Every structure is written in C-alpha cells, then in structure tokens.
Structure 1
C-alpha cells in the first residue's frame, strides 16, 4: 500500500531497528515529490543543529543525504558543505561514521560545479578534519574525471603543501600524500619530501618517506575512495544498527539452533569481557597534543620519553 509523502517522511525521521525499506523504495519512486522535503530537512538542520545533537535517534538528515545523492540533486551540494562548517564536535556527533565512509561520495554525487566551495572546505582549518580529508578526496576524484585540469590540480596541491608546512597542518599534509599516491603525481614528490621533513605527515597512515617512495615506484592503480551513490538501500541496509532482514525465508530447525548457540556464546563472552578492564597501549600521532598535559605536541614533548597507556573498558567507556 502506497504511503503519503508525509508518512514516508515520518518513517524516515527517527531511528528504528527495522530498516525502512518500504519508505525508501517509495521515496525513490516519488523522487520529484519528496526532493523538496529532503532539501528542507538539510536546511532545518543547518539552521538548528540541536535537532540532531540533542536527539541521537534523529535520522532524517542521513536518509536525506543518501537519497539526494542517488537523485544527483545538485541543489544539495551547498547545503552539504554548510553542514560540515558547523562546530567540529557537533559534526562528528551528527554524522558519525558516515562522515569518514560515504560523505565524500555523497558530496561527489551532488557536486554542482562549484569547485571553489569544495576547496574552501579543504582550506578551512576550523572545519572538522575528517570533512576536510573527504573534500580532498572529492577534489582528487574530480581531477580523475577530467573536471579539474592537471595544471590547476598540481598548482593547488603545491600551494596547499606550502600552507600545510607554514601552519603545521598535518591533517592536510597527510591528505596530500594520499592524493599523490592515488594519482601517481610524480610532480609532487619534492613537495611530499618537504612534508615529511617538517613532520607534517601522519606516519601511521602512509608510512615514512622511504615507504612512500616504494609505493610510488611500485604504483599499479589508483584507489577509488569516492564513487557515485547509486543505491541507497544497498548502501545502508547492512548497517549494524538495523535488524537483519529475512526476506520471508524460514529457517530450518538446525540452522535456528546453531544460530541461537552462537548468539548465546557471544552474549556470554561479552558479559565476561565487560567485567574486565584492560590496559591497552594507544597510538598517539606525532602531531597530537601530548597526553601529559603540557599543551605541547607529542613529538616535541614525551615522544622519546615514555609509552603512554590508557585504560579501556570494553563495555564501551574509556577510563
């Protein structure tokens, strides 16, 4: 039975363990009717971030982003850029893992041709670091698709590398290294070497300079981190927060029994683990603030003095 637009929106507004397949299917079928509501949802969130910050179950903006990406709705691009210019902490809360997984692909799918707006996200050190890294990947993808000339691409990266060194911005320095590797930009090797020499590359991401050169010399193909969102249902239905869909198939008795045994075992192990507190060594980036509380960067403080450890409660809380 077909739902009204209002019913579809209502079904997508808040989290439900049951994946809203019907609502998404009907939203896709009625693309022209529902698009204004989805765009409005992004506007409302941009005007008042507390809608999602104060209500963790609010999900309309997430569904809206994926649907508008599948629709190739260019009017969404500027709104999506505006979303990440809010408080970094709020952006992380509101977008969660999606920020590091599909935000770049969503931006690319709605790209309206305004490359300067995209570069503004990359350049702004006040923007959430993950959003800046994703915007960099989108810019790299535009170059791959011939939407940015090689001369402009290289010139921008060189300028960006100089700025990264000048302001000690290792987030962008590291992103530049990733782009140079993906696109096999031999013209950028000297710039990358300077980034390494000034310690503006996160070693844990791409290794040291020798490792970088090994990867450049052994280049095979670029990695496609950014792609079009073509199927919102396929992109979201596997998320762990949703119950598994059985698609009407009945389970045989043995299959059900085995599955129940495994489920019980996992629950028992989980209870035991939650009762234990272990001390696990955490990796601290060279450019992160030193955990000793000095306010200095780790590389300029306790890097060579000691190993810093932190307690972790596997019940989900850090101690």
Structure 2
C-alpha cells in the first residue's frame, strides 16, 4: 500500500480524539494525485448519501470537503450543492458542524445562484440553508460579491421572500445585517421579531437595535466568516470529529489525594445543614438567559451551533 493510500485509509477510519496530522500532510503534499480521488468520493456521496450513511463510509467526507476547499477546486461545487440539496435535519450531521459556509465560498468561484437556491430551498435542513447565507457573506468579504447585492438580498429575504416559518434563519440574516452594519434594515428586522417572537430566544431585539445603532460592525462575529479555507489542517484540528468527547479529559484521578479538600464526615454534615438553613431564607435565583436549543445558532454570534460553542 502506498503512503497516499495508507493516508486515505487512516482518514477514512480515524479514531475519535486522535488528530491524523501526518495523513493530512501526505494528502496535501500530493494534491495532483489526490484531487481526482477526492472529487470521485464527493460525487459518489452526492449520488447516494443515504447509502453512504448506511455503509458507514462518512468519515472521509469532512476531510475531503476541507481539502477541496483549500485547493479551491471549483469542480467540487456542483456535486457539493447536489449533496446538500438531498440532506435534511436527520442526515445533515455527516457534514460536521464547522466550516461549511467557508467551504462553499471557497469552491463556488463567485457563482452565487446555486447558493441562493440552496438558502431558499424549504426541503433541506435549516442548518444548511443558514450556512448558504453565511457563504454569501464570505464572498462579500473576499470581494467576490457586492455588499449592496448582499444588502438587497437580506432585505428581500426578511421582507417575505424567505419560504420558512420560524426564527432560526431570520436570526442568521439578522446576524449578517449586524456584521455588515445594514442599519437601514432595522425596522424590517423589528417586524420580523414581532411576527416571529421566538427570535428572542437567540438574541433580544433591543440588543440587535443597540448593535445596529452603534455604527460599529460585529467584528467578532465577522471573524468566523471572513476568509476562505486556507489551512485545512488548522481548521480540522479544531473540528468536532477530531476532538475527544466530553469527559475525555480529567478522568484519571488515580494517585490524587482528595482528603485535603474535605473535612471529617461531621464537618461535612454541619456544612450541608448550614447551607440548607440559609437557603430557606434566600430568594430563588433565576438566570435571565434565552432558552437555546443544542442545535440552534449560538447567541454569542459565532455562527456555530450552540452545542459546539458556548453550550459545550
């Protein structure tokens, strides 16, 4: 088996929590040889994503997408669009949860029409539709689409052009308005909040209003969308599929003496009694935070899902 084939095999059956840097470097060093294989794989998944899932052949997909994006291979655009149009909320997990918008922007060569069609397709997962909107933002940041065109598109979507009932996608569009400082769309956004009050579960309207009236673009949020994929290894190193699951760190307490942290049983009982006695006289403290689902956009504005950002 050649080094290239071995690297592909490693990446196709990677161990969770182990980052395959050497295998990725091998593929990056052999772009000319690996490119056709990446494209063939993507096209096969696009033809039959359900079969790919059922045969447990999805591990390599995230890697292939990031590498094709770094290579700026526009031949990946159509099969990727074809794949995304076939995925719903039950199957979109095969894409991973970071970087999709920047991958789309990296391979589309400025062709926004398929992106807009993707964003407006009511039959596919809302997460994918949201990422298509953010891909348009990246294109504006890279000078491949006019800011005024994005402004008009956001206005059209928020004013009724979006075939969608709910707050999730309108929050994505609102976030883009904040990052681009489309302050003249404030009243349009206000109307959306009045019609879809669940938008406040992500971010309150008064916060959006303050942001748009400040005259300062959301640079922190924009930092997650500004660039193409230029360093696949750096992006994949932080990707959920290569990060150990919750509880992977700090499980080994062998040899750690916990006795110094606690008093005698009588001391502990006394402390507990005192705690509950005091608690009876205290008012209940309730955090005034919006309810955010694990798969909803994170309220911090990163553009990531809550469970992969502040909800970790």
Q: Distance in 1 between matches of 2:163 and 2:7?
A: 50
Q: Distance in 1 between matches of 2:140 and 2:164?
A: 26
1:112-151 equivalent positions in 2, closer than 5 A = 112-151=109-148
Query: 209, 212, 215: which is aligned to 1:216?
Result: 212
Match of 1:82 in 2: 82
> In the TM superposition, what is the alpha-carbon distance from 1:56 to its structure 2 partner?
4.6
> In the TM superposition, what is the alpha-carbon distance from 1:57 to its structure 2 partner?
6.5
Root-mean-square deviation (CA), in Å? Answer: 3.1
Match of 1:301 in 2: none
Q: Distance in 2 between matches of 1:142 and 1:200?
A: 30
Alpha carbons of structure 1 residues 62 and 164: separation in structure 2 relative to 1, 3 Å: same
TM-score of the superposed pair, with normalisation by structure 1: 0.69
The runs of 5 or more residues in structure 1 that have no matched partner are 245-260, 267-281, 289-319
CA offsets 1:8-48 (integer angstroms, 9 cap, x no match): 32222222344322221111111011100001111111112
- The alignment partner of 1:89 has SS state of coil
Q: Distance in 1 between matches of 2:87 and 2:75?
A: 23
> In the TM superposition, what is the alpha-carbon distance from 1:265 to its structure 2 partner?
3.6
Query: 291, 297, 307: which is aligned to 1:283?
Result: 291
Q: Distance in 2 between matches of 1:79 and 1:165?
A: 25
> In the TM superposition, what is the alpha-carbon distance from 1:238 to its structure 2 partner?
4.4
Question: Which structure is richer in relative contact order (CA contacts within 8 A, separation 6 or more)?
Answer: 2
Contact preservation (8 Å) 1:13, 1:59: yes
- The alignment partner of 2:37 has SS state of helix
CA offsets 1:275-317 (integer angstroms, 9 cap, x no match): xxxxxxx9378xx9xxxxxxxxxxxxxxxxxxxxxxxxxxxxx
Q: Distance in 1 between matches of 2:150 and 2:242?
A: 41
> In the TM superposition, what is the alpha-carbon distance from 1:169 to its structure 2 partner?
4.3
- The alignment partner of 1:202 has SS state of helix
Alpha carbons of structure 1 residues 34 and 207: separation in structure 2 relative to 1, 3 Å: same
Match of 2:70 in 1: 70
> In the TM superposition, what is the alpha-carbon distance from 1:127 to its structure 2 partner?
1.6
Q: Distance in 1 between matches of 2:240 and 2:193?
A: 38
1:34-113 equivalent positions in 2, closer than 5 A = 34-56=34-56, 58-95=58-95, 98-99=96-97, 101-113=98-110
Q: Distance in 2 between matches of 1:91 and 1:67?
A: 22
> In the TM superposition, what is the alpha-carbon distance from 1:239 to its structure 2 partner?
4.8
> In the TM superposition, what is the alpha-carbon distance from 1:195 to its structure 2 partner?
1.0
Contact preservation (8 Å) 2:102, 2:138: no
CA offsets 1:108-159 (integer angstroms, 9 cap, x no match): 2222221100101111111211111111111122223332224422222222
Contact preservation (8 Å) 1:104, 1:134: yes
Q: Distance in 1 between matches of 2:135 and 2:44?
A: 25
TM-score of the superposed pair, with normalisation by structure 2: 0.71
Match of 1:22 in 2: 22
Alpha carbons of structure 1 residues 220 and 57: separation in structure 2 relative to 1, 3 Å: same
Alpha carbons of structure 1 residues 57 and 116: separation in structure 2 relative to 1, 3 Å: closer
> In the TM superposition, what is the alpha-carbon distance from 1:164 to its structure 2 partner?
5.3
Q: Distance in 2 between matches of 1:56 and 1:89?
A: 18
Number of aligned residue pairs: give it. 252
- The alignment partner of 2:15 has SS state of coil
Contact preservation (8 Å) 2:183, 2:213: no
Match of 2:268 in 1: none
Match of 1:314 in 2: none
Alpha carbons of structure 1 residues 166 and 22: separation in structure 2 relative to 1, 3 Å: closer
Q: Distance in 2 between matches of 1:189 and 1:149?
A: 20
Contact preservation (8 Å) 1:122, 1:133: yes
- The alignment partner of 1:5 has SS state of helix
CA offsets 1:225-248 (integer angstroms, 9 cap, x no match): 22222222222234565589xxxx
Q: Distance in 2 between matches of 1:137 and 1:240?
A: 20
